[in-house]
Structure 1
Amino acid sequence: MHKALYRTFRPMKFGDVVGQDHIIRTLKNQISGGNVAHAYLFSGTRGTGKTSTAKIFARSINCLSPADAEPCNSCEMCRAIIDENIMDVVEIDAASNNGVDDIRELRENVKYPPARGKYKVYIVDEVHMLSQGAFNALLKTLEEPPSYVVFILATTEPHKLPATILSRCQRFDFKRLGVGEIVGRMKGICAEVGVCADEEALNLIGMSSQGAMRDALSILDQCMSYSSECISYEDVVSLLGTVNFEALSRLSDAIIRQDVKACLEMINELVVWGKDIKNFTQELTEHFRNIIIAKLDGRGDGILGVTGEMAAEISRQSQGISGDELIRIIKQLSALQNDMRYASNPRIVLEVAIMKICSIEEDSKSEALIARISRLERLLSGVKAGAHTAEAQSQPKEFEKPKEATKLTEDEPEVCKNASEKKRIERQNDDIDKLWKDILGLIKDDRRIPVQAMLKEGTPLEIGKGVFKVMFKDSFDFHRKALSKDENAAYLRSVVKRVTGEDMYINLVIESEISSEKSPQEDALDEIRRLEEIFPPEVLQIKDSLE
């Protein structure tokens, strides 16, 4: 029977364990110094070497001829532990032996000293699966075990363990392996078994394993069975059902260009080829994550975990988009992954989300507004640079005296101006009166009669352009103050938004405060205040006007 790669190449010595140098160094120092603890907790994600390290540790402390705290794997004790025909090293699966009775049996067996070795080692895998009663039964034994007993608890979810268990153990956290570490180990295995594999193929396997060496070796084992010759990048893509880098690059380019048609065509192509939409969305999110890292870190070769050619392509894409736009896209793709969990047709959800990402002008969220501002700033900086160049190249010319226009009588232009202004004011007053009636009616429907009664005493001056302005006579200043309170002002703002569809600044004034006409500086300050209500302070930057 074929033996899986992760079992065939399981680490046999501390030196074979990849990516956990901080743990291996501590354990070897404890063995060399003779200060082995009575209880250890190995925590970390799957496939990072917890159980393998526990078995190596059990052999090392029982080895008859250790060298530099490493087990020899050839003496009587080491061979017995490897062949699992010794009672001094016991491996317990807590997922299936999680009851109080199982722990009571363990407590009874602890009383007996080791039959052949120096230490009796209990390796409890998936210890977080024990019941509360089982944890309570283990406490006393774990706190004061016999001198010849060593407990090694392994878990992927240490937060589920009671604090009383955690405080009795020396804890070691196994970290996820980097892509480079996994690829290096796979290269050694391929060389040992005589299999050829492309660098890009091994990189893709390393990224797909999510930091778990066991997962990477399982995928590599499948690829060896799939490919009779050299394992190529396309072989791994076909086997995993993922999307190749070229397709991700083409689609992300189309998103950056805001080419909705091209995006939909590529999504249709992926569906026709039977690619999983949810996996593809995750890969697209990771690709944009790589783009933003490349934008912030030059090329980010050490962080991206891709080949040099891929890193160069990602760096090229990062030059054509701003950081704000990338953050907006990643946020929307992350929300899309959450929406897909409950979607009966993920393709439609993906297509709608891509349309929304590309149609930045239709998105009113703050991230989209920031991205639009960033794009405008880039465009305006280019226009300004072009204007300065044209001005430098042009020669100064004398202004020609304008030709005399046909003279009107002194009264005619003034009459025309007054007539058009009068019509504009009449239209504006009609609109304000209609909106005012609608606002009062809606407040009445909400049964907020006191608010309606106080507001009716005012006169609407302006409803639009981001401002809802009402004037009260000086004798009704009490009404103005009551309506200006936070609760009433928030309610008025919501009513105005329901009527007009616009979020407006509520401005309640008394007659004596109204001046004949505001200066341009005051108007500018009002506009700034409105912007401060809409945008967070870190987005706004007030600059002097250009001459």
Structure 2
Amino acid sequence: MHKALYRMFRPMTFSDVVGQEHITRTLKNQIANDNTAHAYLFCGTRGTGKTSTAKIFARSINCISPVDFEPCNSCEICTGIIEESIMDVVEIDAASNNGVDDVRELRENVKYPPSRGKYKVYIIDEVHMLSQGAFNALLKTLEEPPPYVVFILATTEAHKLPATILSRCQRFEFKRIGMDDAVQRMRHVCEQTGVQADDDALSLIAMSSQGAMRDALSVLDQCISYTSECIRYDDVVSLLGTVDYQTISSMSGAIVDSNIKACLEIVNEAVVWGKDLRHFIQKLIEHFRNIMVMQMGPSNGDMIQLTDHMKELVAKQSQSITPQEAIRNIKILSQVQNDMKYSTHPRIMLEVAAMKLCTPSEDESVEGLISRIARIESIVNKGGIQPSKPERQIEKQSPEKVETCGIAKASAEASSGAASKQKCDSYKCSEKTIDVSTGMDTEPLWKELLRVIKQDKKVPVQAMLKEGKPQGMEGSMIIVVFDDAFGFHKQALSKNETISYINGVLKRITGENMGIKLFLESEVNVNVQDSLEKDTALEMLEEIFPPEMIEIIGPSEE
């Protein structure tokens, strides 16, 4: 009959226990100094060696001829404990023996001394499953047991134990097995069994086990049955039904590039191959988490349980995305993963999430706005562009000439009536008059320009252009005016390569040589009709702007 690998290669000495040196060293020192406690509590996730360590400790304190304070596993006491022919070591499953009567029977048996060994050891596995009455019945015995009795309690959920039990035990926390330790142990098992395996395959098994050595050996045992030849990465992917890391990397790359089509194709491929979409999202969340950790510094690579090749992929993608965008992606995917529990259409939910991830410019949530601001700040910092300080100055002069911004001029015309007012037809910028043709409707052209720029994956350029307002045409040039608060947008867009790109897009749209001119409101002075009275102008300005933003500058005394 076949014996499972995790049973065949169960640790027999403290040195065989993987990744728990902080515990095995302490227990060996207690044995050496002859100061063993009467009650121990072994905590930790499944498959980390709690029960195996308890059995090794039970043999160590009873061994006739220990070797370096470890069991020899060859004397009559050790062999008797291994073969379960000696009743001095009792293993109890608290999941099926959790009643008060079971604990009372244990209390009666505690009275009898060990038959052959030095200590009588009770190993209570999954102790958190005991009932409240059973805990109360065990309490007194656990506090003051006979000198020859040692209790070892093992649990995966220590928080469920009463404080009165916890305070009477020495507590040892078993940590998850690291990927390198798990791969090394599986490599040793493969050598002992004559099986060949690729390093990438063993690394994938270690990652899927999530720090549980028993789970890793169980999967390895399954892979050995799956193929009689060398165990390869693709074999593990097929057997586990998981998603290979290259697919996850391609999906995240498509998200970063805002390539919705590629995202939908990857999702479709995952569905065709029968992948679990919840597991797919989980792997994607872990990937963006790894990107976020990598962005905090290369020294954090130890916090990422991946192979060197996979870490290189993560490091490369971390340079194309901001931490705020990674956080936004994690939040969206986590919400979708939670909503999938109650949905009958997980594929549609994942596709909608992919489209949302690819269009941060359309996301009006707080995370989306933060992500867009972070992207713009990153562009500004990389380009060395310093945001300009808004300098709004309204000049109050004689009734013959009042100069103000274009938006105030439009309001003045609307409130004073079309009969007595004439539409302004010029912008004065930097002492140069710009004739603006207001007859042409630039709105359709402006919308098409923004659409094509977004289609070209120039999201930062599109996002900054959206803050400007087209005011008309000066010949073949579109006049765009920005609010003074968006001065750094104007500076960023005024770079030669950016202007050349925008002009090229306009030529692609219209087939003609067209261009764009950018101005701030504070740079634009509009001539209002001479008959406009100064009090009326001030009145209208106050309707548009808060009083604290209006500064009246009187005539010069010179």
TM-score of the alignment, normalized to the shorter chain, above 0.5: yes
| Alpha carbons 1:42, 1:155 under 8 Å: kept | yes
Structure 2: any 5+ residue segments left out of the alignment?
A: 387-399, 418-482, 484-538, 552-558
Which moved further from structure 2: 339-348 or 120-129? 339-348
Q: Deviations over 1:435-487 (max 9, x none)?
A: xxxxxxxxxxxxxxxxxxxxxxxxxxxxxx9xxxxxxxxxxxxxxxxxxxxxx
Aligned length: 417
Cα drift, residue 295 of structure 1: 2.0
3-state secondary structure, aligned to 1:353: helix
Match of 1:270 in 2: 270
Match of 2:6 in 1: 6
Match of 1:63 in 2: 63
3-state secondary structure, aligned to 2:321: coil
Looking at structure 1, the residues matched to 306 and 299 of structure 2 have their Cα atoms a distance apart, in angstroms, of 11
Cα drift, residue 385 of structure 1: 6.5
Percent same amino acid among aligned pairs? Answer: 64
| Equivalent residues in 2 for 1:133-532, closer than 5 Å | 133-298=133-298, 300-381=300-381, 421-425=411-415, 517=542, 522-523=548-549
Q: 1:380 to 1:5 in 2, by over 3 A?
A: same
Q: 1:29 to 1:380 in 2, by over 3 A?
A: closer
Looking at structure 1, the residues matched to 547 and 63 of structure 2 have their Cα atoms a distance apart, in angstroms, of 86
3-state secondary structure, aligned to 1:341: helix
Counterpart code for 2:188 = G
Q: 1:299 to 1:166 in 2, by over 3 A?
A: closer
Looking at structure 2, the residues matched to 183 and 251 of structure 1 have their Cα atoms a distance apart, in angstroms, of 27
Looking at structure 2, the residues matched to 127 and 21 of structure 1 have their Cα atoms a distance apart, in angstroms, of 24
Cα drift, residue 425 of structure 1: 3.8
Looking at structure 1, the residues matched to 80 and 289 of structure 2 have their Cα atoms a distance apart, in angstroms, of 49
Match of 2:422 in 1: none
| Alpha carbons 2:110, 2:146 under 8 Å: kept | yes
Q: 1:115 to 1:257 in 2, by over 3 A?
A: same
Match of 1:433 in 2: none
Cα drift, residue 305 of structure 1: 2.3
Which moved further from structure 2: 364-373 or 165-174? 364-373
Q: 1:383 to 1:28 in 2, by over 3 A?
A: closer
Q: 1:353 to 1:417 in 2, by over 3 A?
A: closer
Q: 1:382 to 1:172 in 2, by over 3 A?
A: closer
Cα drift, residue 384 of structure 1: 5.8
Larger relative contact order (CA 8 Å, sep ≥ 6): 2
Q: 1:331 to 1:116 in 2, by over 3 A?
A: same
Counterpart code for 1:60 = S
Q: Deviations over 1:254-307 (max 9, x none)?
A: 000111111011101110011110111101111111122222222744222222
Match of 1:403 in 2: none
Counterpart code for 2:340 = M
3-state secondary structure, aligned to 1:229: coil
Counterpart code for 1:143 = E
| Alpha carbons 2:411, 2:540 under 8 Å: kept | no
3-state secondary structure, aligned to 2:342: coil
Q: 1:80 to 1:380 in 2, by over 3 A?
A: same
Counterpart code for 1:59 = R
Larger helix proportion of the pair = 1
Q: Deviations over 1:34-67 (max 9, x none)?
A: 1111111111110000000000000000100012
Which moved further from structure 2: 254-263 or 288-297? 288-297
3-state secondary structure, aligned to 1:137: helix
Cα drift, residue 335 of structure 1: 1.7
Q: Deviations over 1:164-193 (max 9, x none)?
A: 111111111111111111111111111111
Structure 1: any 5+ residue segments left out of the alignment?
A: 387-409, 428-464, 466-513, 526-547
| Alpha carbons 2:120, 2:148 under 8 Å: kept | yes
Counterpart code for 2:30 = Q
| Equivalent residues in 2 for 1:34-183, closer than 5 Å | 34-183=34-183
Looking at structure 1, the residues matched to 416 and 90 of structure 2 have their Cα atoms a distance apart, in angstroms, of 93
Looking at structure 1, the residues matched to 78 and 179 of structure 2 have their Cα atoms a distance apart, in angstroms, of 32
3-state secondary structure, aligned to 1:124: strand
State the TM-score, normalizing by the size of structure 2.
Answer: 0.71
Alignment RMSD (CA, Å): 2.9
3-state secondary structure, aligned to 2:40: strand
| Alpha carbons 1:290, 1:314 under 8 Å: kept | yes
Which moved further from structure 2: 377-386 or 169-178? 377-386
| Alpha carbons 2:48, 2:212 under 8 Å: kept | yes
Q: 1:418 to 1:521 in 2, by over 3 A?
A: closer
Looking at structure 2, the residues matched to 351 and 327 of structure 1 have their Cα atoms a distance apart, in angstroms, of 19
Cα drift, residue 5 of structure 1: 0.5
State the TM-score, normalizing by the size of structure 1.
Answer: 0.72
Counterpart code for 2:335 = A
3-state secondary structure, aligned to 1:117: coil
Q: Deviations over 1:189-237 (max 9, x none)?
A: 1111111111111111111101100001101111111121111111111
Looking at structure 2, the residues matched to 272 and 516 of structure 1 have their Cα atoms a distance apart, in angstroms, of 63
